[in-house]
Structure 1
Amino acid sequence: MLDVKDFVKQGEEVTITKVVGPEDTVGTSSTHLQQLLSTNACINIMIKTAVEMVDPKLPPGYITVGRYWETTHHAPVLMGSTVNFKITLDKIDSNRLLFSMTGWDDTGEFCRAKHERVVINKDKLMDKVRERATR
């Protein structure tokens, strides 16, 4: 069995800074909120960052897949604002990776999240996909 701790280390963290653009807003989901950072954009930033933190370090044939997500988006952020996201690999439990995220801007924290990813063999995943598709 693959020992994930040989490839990634608990406590690793990445901080992302970006300016909220139109692609990061609620957009067409709500015309009343189209100038605000969307929760989906926060989630996408965290997932993308978690994948980039881990997947390139794994041996060939292994990837991570998302298993669990929990988020609180507790303050609005306007388009054009500079925001920061800190993503931390808090725990490695066998093939389970537990991440936390905090998002903040000049006025303080606006979101928190927890995310679990699982390290798997890509070929075995695709075998299960094909098996399930033929049922």
Structure 2
Amino acid sequence: MLEIGMKNTAETVVTIDNTAKAFTSGALEVFATPAMIALMEETCWKMVQPELEEGLGTVGTKVDVSHMAPSAIGKTIICEATLIEIDGRKLSFEVVCSDESGVVGMGTHERFIINNEKFLAKANK
């Protein structure tokens, strides 16, 4: 059952593969903003998926985050997501990513509950 206040955490280590240079979102070997956003989305969908009926899933529809501090290769990034609103099929989350030095990014993320089969059929039209 989905409930406001649910939380989930996920983590990753900064490697050469998730740097701005690797993502071509910048030239430096620091944790990439697209990698941070992917970690935030992963943390959110993995929180709610076990609570959904068979055949349902979620898709990300909005991300509003700030990437406020760099994280070098070798740092561990921990993301904490909190479900803050349920509005019909729309789920809203607060997300915060931190490393050993403190908060590196934060913001909000929205996902919509969808029927997987219908969504894929629509995408394949």
Bin of the TM-score, shorter chain as denominator length:
0.7 to 0.9
The match for 2:90 is: 96
1:57 aligned to 2:57? no
SS at match of 1:60: coil
- Structure 2: how far apart are the matches of 1:47 and 1:31? 21
Q: Is the 8 Å Cα contact of residues 21 and 27 (structure 2) preserved in structure 1? A: no
1:42 aligned to 2:43? no
Q: Which runs of 5+ in 2 are unaligned?
A: none
Q: Which runs of 5+ in 1 are unaligned?
A: 1-6
**How many positions carry a matched residue from both structures?**
124
- Structure 2: how far apart are the matches of 1:127 and 1:16? 31
Structure possessing the higher radius of gyration over alpha carbons:
1
SS at match of 2:77: strand
Query: Identity across aligned pairs (percent)?
Result: 32
SS at match of 1:77: coil
SS at match of 1:67: strand
SS at match of 1:59: coil
SS at match of 1:125: helix
The match for 1:111 is: 105
**CA RMSD after TM alignment:** 1.9
- Structure 1: how far apart are the matches of 2:69 and 2:84? 24
